[in-house]
Structure 1
Amino acid sequence: MDSPKENDINYADLTDENIINYENLIKEDEEKKPLVSEYDVIENYKVNYIDSEIFSKKINQLKNDCKGYRSVRKDGNCFYRSFSYKYFELINKNKNSKWSQEMKKIAKDSINVLTSVNFEKETIEDFYDFFMDAFDPQKFREISFVDEYTSNGIVFYLRLICSAELKINHEAYEMFLEEPLDSFISRQVEPLGRDVDNVQIMAIVNALKVCINIAYLDSTNNNVNWIKFGEEYQKDANSPVINLLFTPGHYDMLYHNDENV
């Protein structure tokens, strides 16, 4: 199938499918952008289809809840990169809290979880080290999401965590799949560059015991829709929540009004 051409897209009828086709057109330009952008105020958030009245309205609605954002490269790893950046950022900002200590313990034990489902320790140790190094604030700022090889190593390790959770607790996820679990994992979970669906999001949430709150901006005429995953892991009002933004085919990070930047 030929790649979509820009003049094939009907901007007068802006559907989620058209938006995704347009996103595919600009992937080459994305490779020139940083893996993670600098923080910016929400008023400056732009999407490639900003001239759509629906999306402009929804971005304005976001201002009621969020003060800023970071964008990530659109390379098929955007959920894992957005999630992991916010995950480490929140842990490092709250490094002395009980929550952060619990998160670090789960992360430290993750290599044992992976070896329990037959990942070879010698094969995954480097990726585990990249992941654990990001708990160091200096390495997090200067290396983890600046160096592409290191950042992709963190993304890959998260994919393995997702894979292990799906294998260990397969009964909770198989009902949502349209193909055998092993096939789904080998095609959609472990390879870099594969987008996520709700199954992978829930697996990450359950494996790491975190709460994710996602604002969905789509082409419907509805208001911004927030969906919280893993609310049971938000033990109290002070427990950090990872806020993300979804536009068709892509995830970025959001900073809620009550978050310290």
Structure 2
Amino acid sequence: MQNQEGLQADGEVKSATSVPATEFDEWANFADNDIMQQHSAIHAEEAEKIPYVADKEPLSSLAAEYQSGSTILLEKIKVLNEQYASIRRTRGDGNCFFRSFMFSYLEHILESQDQAEVNRIKANVEECRKTLQGLGYTDFTFEDFFTLFIEQLDSVLQGNEDSISHDELVVRSRDQSISDYVVMFFRFVTAGEIQKRSEFFEPFIMGLTNATVEQFCKSSVEPMGEESDHVHITALSDALGVPIRVVYLDRSSCDNGGVSVNHHDFIPADSNLPNASGGKTFSPFITLLYRPGHYDILYQK
């Protein structure tokens, strides 16, 4: 389950990857008490009943959760249903953002068989390794996690002796010895990016805690089970060059009284995107549903 606190942005900070201050400030709006009561309700005992990555379900299963709840949430789920066909839930154990990203990205490679993207992400992973080394991390603290991620990435490319099917990807994502290692890979990548660009991230971190950037990474990014927020998503998206869309399900309404579903696209710096010099606009192929306290995976129609 994830953190919902608002982030205060410094208006002086400029970056191709920065999220406008208003976007960070709006984060606080998603901390809806009613939804929090329902989803903070995924206590550790209950969370353990859910696989790390569940089977895909029709989006109608989401509406069933709110039948006796807020009318506006049911209306928003109807709006979601116009664009999205299904949802894949992840365990609410504090790692659900990283777990959702992990499965969604590997699933995308398995379905697209995009060798160019695999080559690009491997180059970015190598840069992330150098970043951690430059920050003083010793190889043994992170190398196993990096190695396992590359193995999983190679395995979803077909035609190799170790290639896996979609069903096997689901099985591996539920295997703690594999799934947790890949989550730790993403946590180290995120921590490295935050510290490498500490001047950019510091104002946002100060909006969450009085800790230094390094302390924040040690206490709120690297440990398993620590919740993720805009800072984590921005850093991971930037480091790997992978755009991410987060769709927000909350009780906010439009000024005109209508019902709409807000989303935010985390778009990395152009230099980190594939074929950046081609002037293309890249739409996220990873879409996550955020309900205060939790991330799941959404699938478009």
TM-score for both structures, normalised by structure 1? 0.84
Counterpart of 1:174 (choices 199, 202, 221) is 202
Unaligned runs of 5+ in 1: 1-14
Q: 1:171 to 1:157 in 2, by over 3 A?
A: same
Counterpart of 1:218 (choices 250, 262, 265) is 250
* Distance in 2 between residues matched to 1:214 and 1:251, nearest whole Å: 9
Q: Which residue of 1 aligns with 2:240?
A: 208
Q: How far 1:108 moved relative to its partner?
A: 4.5
Q: Which residue of 1 aligns with 2:189?
A: 161
Counterpart of 1:26 (choices 35, 42, 45) is 42
Partner SS state of residue 296, structure 2 = strand
Q: How far 1:129 moved relative to its partner?
A: 2.1
Query: Which residues of 2 match residues 71-86 of structure 1 at below 5 A?
Result: 71-86=89-104
* Distance in 2 between residues matched to 1:225 and 1:78, nearest whole Å: 20
Q: Which residue of 2 aligns with 1:245?
A: 289
Q: Which residue of 1 aligns with 2:84?
A: 66
| 47-56 or 124-133: bigger deviation | 47-56
Deviation by residue 1:201-236 (Cα, 9 ceiling, x = unmatched): 110011000101111011222421011011644864
* Distance in 2 between residues matched to 1:50 and 1:209, nearest whole Å: 39
| 64-73 or 18-27: bigger deviation | 18-27
Partner SS state of residue 90, structure 2 = coil
* Distance in 2 between residues matched to 1:74 and 1:48, nearest whole Å: 16
* Distance in 1 between residues matched to 2:243 and 2:217, nearest whole Å: 23
Query: One-letter code of the match for 1:212?
Result: I
Confirm or deny that 1:195 pairs with 2:227.
yes
* Distance in 2 between residues matched to 1:158 and 1:65, nearest whole Å: 29
* Distance in 1 between residues matched to 2:151 and 2:170, nearest whole Å: 11
Say whether the 8 Å CA contact 2:94–2:227 is kept in structure 1: yes
Q: How far 1:104 moved relative to its partner?
A: 3.0
TM-score for both structures, normalised by structure 2? 0.73
- Larger relative contact order (Cα-Cα within 8 Å, sequence gap ≥ 6): 2
Confirm or deny that 1:149 pairs with 2:159.
no
Q: Which residue of 2 aligns with 1:112?
A: 130
Q: How far 1:118 moved relative to its partner?
A: 1.7
Confirm or deny that 1:17 pairs with 2:63.
no
Give % identity.
30
* Distance in 1 between residues matched to 2:86 and 2:104, nearest whole Å: 13
Say whether the 8 Å CA contact 2:128–2:192 is kept in structure 1: no
Q: Which residue of 1 aligns with 2:216?
A: 184
Confirm or deny that 1:100 pairs with 2:102.
no
Partner SS state of residue 218, structure 1 = coil
Q: How far 1:144 moved relative to its partner?
A: 3.4
Q: 1:47 to 1:182 in 2, by over 3 A?
A: farther
Counterpart of 1:227 (choices 229, 240, 264) is 264
* Distance in 2 between residues matched to 1:47 and 1:193, nearest whole Å: 28
Query: One-letter code of the match for 1:226?
Result: H
Unaligned runs of 5+ in 2: 1-30, 157-163, 255-259
Aligned pairs, how many? 243
Q: 1:226 to 1:237 in 2, by over 3 A?
A: same
Say whether the 8 Å CA contact 1:90–1:240 is kept in structure 2: no
Q: How far 1:156 moved relative to its partner?
A: 1.2
Say whether the 8 Å CA contact 2:73–2:250 is kept in structure 1: yes
Q: Which residue of 2 aligns with 1:3?
A: none
Q: 1:17 to 1:142 in 2, by over 3 A?
A: closer
Query: One-letter code of the match for 1:33?
Result: I
| 131-140 or 245-254: bigger deviation | 131-140
* Distance in 1 between residues matched to 2:190 and 2:215, nearest whole Å: 14
Say whether the 8 Å CA contact 1:94–1:100 is kept in structure 2: no
* Distance in 1 between residues matched to 2:34 and 2:91, nearest whole Å: 20
* Distance in 1 between residues matched to 2:170 and 2:102, nearest whole Å: 15
Say whether the 8 Å CA contact 2:148–2:182 is kept in structure 1: yes
Q: How far 1:50 moved relative to its partner?
A: 4.5
* Distance in 2 between residues matched to 1:150 and 1:50, nearest whole Å: 36
